Amino acid sequence: MTTVCLSAWSSAEATGIDAAQARALTETKAVTLTPGWAPGTWTVTASSYVGVLHVAGVEVRIRPRISVARLMFLLGYAQDPRIWRDDPVGLEHQPDLWPAMAQVFVRQAEKALERGLLQGYRVEESAQLVMRGRLREADQLRRRAGLAVPLEVRYDEYDADIAENRLLRTAAERLIRVPRLPAPAVRRLRTLVGHLAEVSRLVPGQPLPPTPPSRLNARYLPALTLARMVLRARSVDVRDRGVHASGFLVNMNAVFEDFVTVALTEALARHGGRCVPQDVAHPLDVARRIAVQPDLVRYGPDGRPQAVVDAKYKSESPSGYPYADVYQLLAYCTALNVPVGHLVYAEGGSAPDDVVVRNVSVTIRRHALDLARPVPELLAQVTDIADAVAGDG
């Protein structure tokens, strides 16, 4: 087994990989492989994804540039800021995402099931020999052509086969498929699936079912947040000329954007107005053919846009397209007719200078979030950015 370990946006030299394996790995878009200087060597370069890739005889582990505990906090906070207020414990020495995810998920799922499976009502539609619930008259006429039985009915069923348990089972089964997960974690996941054996799996590709918080499912909420993280991660399944590459990946760009969007929305609530994430209501051109989609738009009480925010996990690179982030935000400000735009980067140190654009009344303010700071300090940084955004509105 050839194992390659590297961080997001970094490169590493590798041997023991043939051309077919290199093509399959590159096809995942998570890494690119180029021939190295020495025969039989490859330069493996990671993109914004972290996680694990596997092709016969080769495993690529892409680690985040922040701690795994902090990554899981960012993921959890974006899902539900009421629950995730700090880094999960027990991950200090875990460098890889998916073993950490399995460890925390199993712990929370076992805690959720300590008092037994949650039960609830769900709507069931089926054909029955006796009347139960309500008759679906249109379906009866269309499917049964006047026959008296069976009856097409709709009724409420009270059991454990509800959305909360389906999310837990499906997430557990997906984690089991992660390559080379530690054996103790796999055993605990299989035990968890056994407890949920009477529960249906979610249909792949379908939207995840809603589970509104309530008094009844309160003990499930941390586990449900983790289950949604698992199920929303990108699953890779690539076949290139008979070579199969698979994996489980999380996009750090999306993680940071989601965190900034949710955290700023929370912090801006005390200033009034409303925030709209991924707003597409303001095209760039008069013909409305060129859409723009800022990460966050803040509207004032009068319903007009007051501020626009875009988050970038990795700052622009002069070796690529210099100042592309600034150009992008300038287009947002133009489309929304706001004088100030805010760029939020994930990097330590002092924030870069503001950009005052010539010939138009637009200023691009650039902020830096230090993700390595303790959670209270990180959220305080977000509050400072929110105050600046509200002050420019």
**Is residue 259 a part of any domain in this protein?**
no
Total domains in the fold of the chain: 4
Do the domain assignments include residue 261? Answer: no
Tell me what pLDDT residue 393 has: 65
For residue 278, being part of any structural domain is answered with yes
Question: Within a domain: residue 257?
Answer: no
Whether pLDDT at 347 is above 80: no
pLDDT at position 63, please?
Answer: 95
pLDDT band at 286 (very low <50, low <70, confident <90, very high): very high
The reply to whether 262 falls in a domain is no
164 assigned to some structural domain: yes
| pLDDT tens digits, one per residue of 42-76 | 999 999 999 999 998 899 999 999 999 999 999 99
Same domain, yes or no, for 321 and 362?
yes
In the three-class reduction of DSSP (H, G, I as helix; E, B as strand; rest coil), residue 155 is classed as strand
User: If DSSP codes are grouped into helix, strand and coil, which group holds residue 241?
Assistant: coil
Q: What is the pLDDT of residue 240?
A: 73
The answer as to whether 260 is a domain residue is no
Query: Are 103 and 204 found together in one domain?
Result: yes
Please give the pLDDT value at position 199.
95
Tokens 């792949």 found at: 204
Q: How confident is the model at residue 150 (pLDDT cuts 50, 70, 90)?
A: confident
Q: What is the pLDDT of residues 156-176, one digit of tens each?
A: 677 899 999 999 999 999 999
The verdict on 96 and 219 lying in the same domain is yes
Q: Is residue 17 part of a domain?
A: yes
Using an 8 Å Cβ cutoff, are 120 and 158 in contact?
yes
- Summarize pLDDT for 224-279 with one digit per residue, the tens: 999 999 999 998 888 877 788 889 999 999 999 999 999 999 999 999 899 999 99
77 and 168, same domain (yes or no): yes
CATH number assigned to the domain comprising residue 360: 3.40.1350
Total Cβ atoms within 10 A of residue 117: 17
Considering the domain architecture, whether residues 221 and 305 belong to the same structural domain is answered as no
Q: What is the mean pLDDT of the chain?
A: 89
Beta pairing class for 2-7 and 58-63: parallel
Question: Are 343 and 363 spatial neighbours (Cβ–Cβ below 8 Å)?
Answer: no
The verdict on 331 and 365 lying in the same domain is: yes
pLDDT at res. 155: 57
pLDDT at 56: 86
Check residue 349 and give left, alpha or beta (phi > 0: left; psi -120 to 50: alpha): left
Last residue of a domain, one of 159, 182, 209: 159
> Each residue of 296-333: pLDDT tens digit?
999 988 889 999 999 999 866 545 566 889 999 999 99
CA angle 206, 208, 209 (to 5 degrees): 115
Shared-domain flag, residues 98 and 221:
yes
The residue range of the domain holding 183 is 65-119+160-232
pTM (2 d.p.): 0.87
Across 125-129, 179-183, 284-288, least confident range: 125-129
296 lies in the same domain as 364? yes
Length of the chain as a residue count: 393
Same domain, 365 and 307: yes
User: Facing residues of 246 across strands?
Assistant: 54, 237
DSSP string, 319-380: TSSTTHHHHHHHHHHHHHT-SEEEEEEE--SSPPPPEE-TTSS-EEEEEEE-TTS-HHHHHH
Q: Do 341 and 366 sit in the same domain of this protein?
A: yes
Whether residues 142 and 290 fall in one domain: no
Tokens coding 262: 């949710």
98 lies in the same domain as 154: no
